A = this chain, B = another copy of it.
Amino acid sequence: MTLDHVAIQTTDIAASVKWYVEHFDAQVLYQDASWAFLKMGGNKLALVDPRQHPAHVAVSVTGEQLEQASAAHGIKIDGHRDGTKGIYIKDPSGNAVELICYPPGETIYGKK
């Protein structure tokens, strides 16, 4: 399975986006007031508002893998406005891990 992205928390999305773009030529895939999605080289970094999203590691899974994990952990699958769906579980140290399933084809972020 593929590590899709990692999300870190930031108190000012706009200032952080500006900083990552200026320092590292990050490409902005998406941005609103509560989070932003950046691409740096082939990899993706999410910047999230701590009041709305946990810091997390996101692993890309198939629909079948997501259904299995949902059943195994007893956690209901959440659909997101962007067409992705997923669940959050915890690793042994309590880090949030999102299992994320992308819809077929393109998303608003471009090809996954």
Contact = CB atoms under 8 A, between A and B. Distances in A.
Contact of A92 (B6, B15, B24, B59): B15
Interface bin, chain A: 20 to 34
Interface string A48-65: 000000000101100000
Interface in A66-84: none
23 contacts: A1-B24, A1-B25, A1-B41, A2-B41, A2-B42, A3-B24, A3-B40, A3-B45, A6-B45, A6-B57, A8-B57, A8-B95, A10-B92, A10-B93, A12-B92, A12-B93, A15-B92, A16-B92, A19-B92, A40-B59, A41-B60, A42-B42, A45-B57
